[in-house]
Amino acid sequence: MAQITLDNLAHSYLPDPKSSDDYALKELNHVWEDGAAYALLGSSGCGKSTLLNIISGLLRPSQGRILFEGQDVTDAPTAERNIAQVFQFPVVYDTMTVRDNLAFPLRNRGRPESYVAERVAEIAAMIGMEHMLDRKARGLTADAKQKISLGRGMVRKDVNALLFDEPLTVIDPHMKWELRTQLKKLHHDFGHTMIYVTHDQTEALTFANKVVVMYDGRVVQIGTPEELFERPEHTFVGYFIGSPGMNLLPAEVAGSEARIPGGTVPLAANYGSPRGRLQLGIRPEHLRLSATEGLPVTIRRIEDVGRHRILRADLAGHDLNIIAPEDQPVAEGANRVVVDPARIGIYADDWRVTAA
């Protein structure tokens, strides 16, 4: 177990990167606290896997350093870093039995057979494969294979960190939930530093104490699930987290007032006159329909998703999503929307502006 520090790290797959567009991973300084469970969230191709492979030593960064407990390991091979990593697609050793697969990382480190047997039994129970330990791994279903991969990742107790690269993609939803619970329990019991890469926000928000959101090779926000929801630092976070994501409307800001399509809304604080391309962000949860006050909207569609309803509306030519509570009927003639000023975020060139 270790604290992992990324110091001025960046990576490009090109031999001679020139502009910042050439970098798959843009300059990054970050400390992964010892024993915390992180989720690394972002859309495909944003540099998540690159970052993971750099941490595990499969990839050498083009610039910067990686430190484990303050010790520079940038040039240390994977074996020395003692890291476990689980990949997106199942990797099993076909010709070995399930048991030998699980024992492989331990045997490679020369652990005594009695210890190996004990650990394999524990892990097999955890992934629910005790009954097929003596089967050949070849010919198993994809999710059984992925469970073996997960098991191989977890079989070592003394790893510095456990890295998961979208490990549950190929697993069916029910098992997904169960395995995620197991991973949380594992984290709780052993306190490994865990980094869990995913593009599924539910997975990220339920797994981690801290979520790191990446966008276009950059870390845009690190925070608890609540922080990401309440105060997205970047429009991508607002849009990516939440279902549906944050509404973003072009805005002109003057002091504590914002002019958006369809009218003017008051702001909770004085923003002065920020520069750049301005947007007003408001979560669908923080909009309220009204018959008497607010901005005029046209409701196009109502989707009932069970615990609440999503109203797809049109505000002066812009799409607007509103979440209405399930127990409250949409009043007839309710064709105005009220914006909660305290929940508004103002974004200049996609980054959140703090009130003056």
Partner 1 sequence: MDKPVNHKAWFLVLPVLVLVAFSAVIPLMTVVNYSVQDTFGNNVFFWNGLGWFQDLLASERMWNALVRQLIFSGVIIAIEIPLGIFVALNMPKRGVWASVVLVLMSLPLLIPWNVVGTIWQIFGRVDIGLLGYGLDALGIDYNYTQNPIHAWITVVVMDVWHWTSLVALLAYAGLQSIPDAYYQAAKIDQASRWKVFRFIELPKMAGVLMIAVLLRFMDSFMIYTEPFVLTGGGPGNATTFLSIDLVKMALGQFDLGPAAAFSLMYFLVILLISWVFYTVMTNLDKRGG
Chain residues that interact with partner 1, rule: CB under 8 A: 53, 56-58, 77-79, 83-85, 87-89, 91, 93-96, 104-105, 108-109, 136, 138-139, 149, 152-153
Greatest distance between any 2 Cα atoms in the chain: 76
What is the smallest separation between the CB atom of 19 and partner 1, expressed in angstroms?
A: 25
**Is residue 161 a contact partner of residue 2, using CB atoms and an 8 Å limit?**
yes
What is the smallest separation between the CB atom of 109 and partner 1, expressed in angstroms?
A: 6
Helix (H), strand (E) at residue 214: strand 210-215
Tell me how far apart the alpha carbons of residues 51 and 59 are, in angstroms, rounded to a whole number. Answer: 9
**What letter would DSSP give residue 314?**
E
Is 13 or 351 the residue whose CB approaches partner 1 more closely?
Answer: 13
What is the smallest separation between the CB atom of 233 and partner 1, expressed in angstroms?
A: 32
What is the smallest separation between the CB atom of 265 and partner 1, expressed in angstroms?
A: 50
DSSP notation for 95-137: TSBHHHHHHHHHHHTT--HHHHHHHHHHHHHHHT-GGGTTSBS
Please count the other Cβ atoms lying within 10 Å of the Cβ belonging to residue 314. 15
Amino acid at 172: D
- CB burial class (10 A; 0-12, 13-18, 19+) of residue 124? buried
What is the smallest separation between the CB atom of 87 and partner 1, expressed in angstroms?
A: 5
Is 158 or 252 the residue whose CB approaches partner 1 more closely?
Answer: 158
Is 149 or 247 the residue whose CB approaches partner 1 more closely?
Answer: 149
Is 199 or 343 the residue whose CB approaches partner 1 more closely?
Answer: 199
- Please name every residue paired with 315 in a beta bridge, in sequence order, or none if there are none: 318
What is the smallest separation between the CB atom of 91 and partner 1, expressed in angstroms?
A: 4
Pull the structure tokens for residue 10.
């960046």
Tell me how far apart the alpha carbons of residues 65 and 9 are, in angstroms, rounded to a whole number. Answer: 6
Tell me how far apart the alpha carbons of residues 308 and 300 are, in angstroms, rounded to a whole number. Answer: 17
Is 61 or 284 the residue whose CB approaches partner 1 more closely?
Answer: 61
What is the smallest separation between the CB atom of 176 and partner 1, expressed in angstroms?
A: 20
Pull the structure tokens for residue 26.
């843009």
Is 158 or 319 the residue whose CB approaches partner 1 more closely?
Answer: 158
What is the smallest separation between the CB atom of 88 and partner 1, expressed in angstroms?
A: 8
Tell me how far apart the alpha carbons of residues 259 and 243 are, in angstroms, rounded to a whole number. Answer: 26
Is 162 or 219 the residue whose CB approaches partner 1 more closely?
Answer: 162
CA distances, 176 to each of 114, 163, 170, 182, 187 (Å):
31, 17, 9, 10, 16
Is 105 or 281 the residue whose CB approaches partner 1 more closely?
Answer: 105
